[in-house]
Structure 1
Amino acid sequence: MARPKVHDAALRAQLLTRARELLSSDGTDGVSLRVLARDCGTSTTAVYSLFGGKPELLGELLDEALRRFTAHVDAVRAEDDPVAALVRLAGAYRRAALAAPQLFDAMFGGALPPATAHAALRPLRELVQRGVARGSLRPDLDPATAALTLWATVHGWVSLQRRHLLPEGRDRLEDAVRGVLDGWRPA
């Protein structure tokens, strides 16, 4: 007779849900395998059996968070005008960051994996390329450098906003992005 499977897909889903809650409220340091197992009525052995350990569990949560974040940002790119879409993309990036700040910190804190950086820059680079191709942006503009500049602008602005370091009444992210983009318009 086959041994019943104790650590099944339902337990895996329950552990992921609770780990996501812990990560969302307390960051990566708040995801304790002992607490997670206790909260889900199981053992740490189950967590190790299903995920391999805390780094793999966090990796799976961050992969999921990145997919959600990317989907949130990707929804903006259908705009006909690539410059207007870049401004809207900045707003979508901010909304995604503010909606899940602990996940945002976990995704972009510490050593950023190259795959994460590539995923974050891809929509920006594609829109800059479209802007160059349509003549909305200078033909000599390097899309990779422009994408990195826009990301630094938006990410920095969001980081300042999240830490309440923007001057009162000065939340003008879209104006800042437009200012950068205006510098890249054809003469």
Structure 2
Amino acid sequence: MARGSLPGAAAQAELAERLVDAALRVLAEHGSPELTVRRVAEEAGSSTMGVYSRFGGRPGLLEALYQRTFSVLTDALALIPATTDPLHDLSELSCAYRRFALDVPHRYVFMFSRPLPDFEPADGLHAEVLQAAFAPLIDAVHRAGAQGLAATRAAYCLWCVMHGLVGLELTAVLRAPLTSWGVSGEDGTAAERMYRAGVQAMLAGLELGCG
């Protein structure tokens, strides 16, 4: 690459980063329906032409945002240290996942619920970002004794429980049953206890133990 092209390339990379950052803010504050080219460009202090020049249009921008949201999840789960007790690690990872979802619900919905019918990640991207994000979960399942395909299945089943309980909590569907079943707690305390209980029950059901 010619020396004279470096400043321009750096400026283009900075613009792309700024646009994705802006899209992440729009998503967190206003939800998926507001992810328009104009809204994101305004948030980034750019023009709509900047979105088209860097991403080819809204689909490219959304795909870059999709990758970024999973990078945030990857970083959040990677912060949980691996210990000599993999069952403890699985419990902590599951709680970190719940915190991630509850901190910015719009982001979580964008990642897992397909709220935009005109956006579908490129082939293979969904599997790629999931594999990267859940590597600590799969590693802990391995360390808990599952091997090969059994470990993948165990991690998948555990994630299904995590995702299901978080989804119910986000839509407030869980509140009425908790009250009628006599599970008390301030704000999300009862939901958190039910979440932990669900994770532990799945670990036991997978015969990984539930210390």
Q: Give the Cα separation in 2 of the matches to 1:140 and 1:50.
A: 41
Q: Which of 162, 180, 184 matches 2:202? A: 180
**3-state secondary structure, aligned to 1:47:** helix
Give 1:37-52 correspondences, 5 Å limit: 37-52=41-56
Q: Which of 151, 170, 175 matches 1:143? A: 151
Q: Give the Cα separation in 1 of the matches to 2:149 and 2:88.
A: 17
1:154 lines up with 2:162 in the alignment: yes
Q: Give the Cα separation in 1 of the matches to 2:44 and 2:140.
A: 44
Q: Which of 98, 121, 142 matches 1:129? A: 142
Give 1:29-178 correspondences, 5 Å limit: 29-110=33-114, 113-132=126-145, 142-166=150-174, 167-168=178-179, 169=184, 170-171=190-191, 172-178=194-200
Q: 1:140 to 1:57 in 2, by over 3 A?
A: closer
Q: Which amino acid aligns with 1:161?
A: E
Q: Give the Cα separation in 1 of the matches to 2:57 and 2:22.
A: 15
Give the CA deviation at 1:120: 4.1
Q: Give the Cα separation in 2 of the matches to 1:185 and 1:40.
A: 47
Structure 1 segments (4+ residues) deviating >3 Å: 7-14, 38-42
Give the CA deviation at 1:84: 0.8
Give the CA deviation at 1:85: 0.7
TM-score (norm 2): 0.73
* Unmatched runs of 5 consecutive residues or more in structure 1: 134-138
Give the CA deviation at 1:148: 0.8
Deviation string 1:5-50 (CA, Å, 9 cap, x unpaired) is: 6x74554444333222111123332111122334445432121012
TM-score (norm 1): 0.82
Q: Give the Cα separation in 2 of the matches to 1:24 and 1:148.
A: 27
Q: Give the Cα separation in 2 of the matches to 1:141 and 1:39.
A: 45
Question: Is the CA contact 2:41–2:47 (under 8 Å) kept in the aligned structure 1?
Answer: yes
Give the CA deviation at 1:140: 9.9
Deviation string 1:68-112 (CA, Å, 9 cap, x unpaired) is: 111111221422200111111110000111112111111112367
Q: Which amino acid aligns with 1:180?
A: M
Question: Is the CA contact 2:19–2:40 (under 8 Å) kept in the aligned structure 1?
Answer: yes
Aligned residues, how many? 180
Q: 1:14 to 1:74 in 2, by over 3 A?
A: closer
**3-state secondary structure, aligned to 2:172:** coil
Q: 1:63 to 1:140 in 2, by over 3 A?
A: closer
**3-state secondary structure, aligned to 1:78:** coil
Q: Percent identity?
A: 32
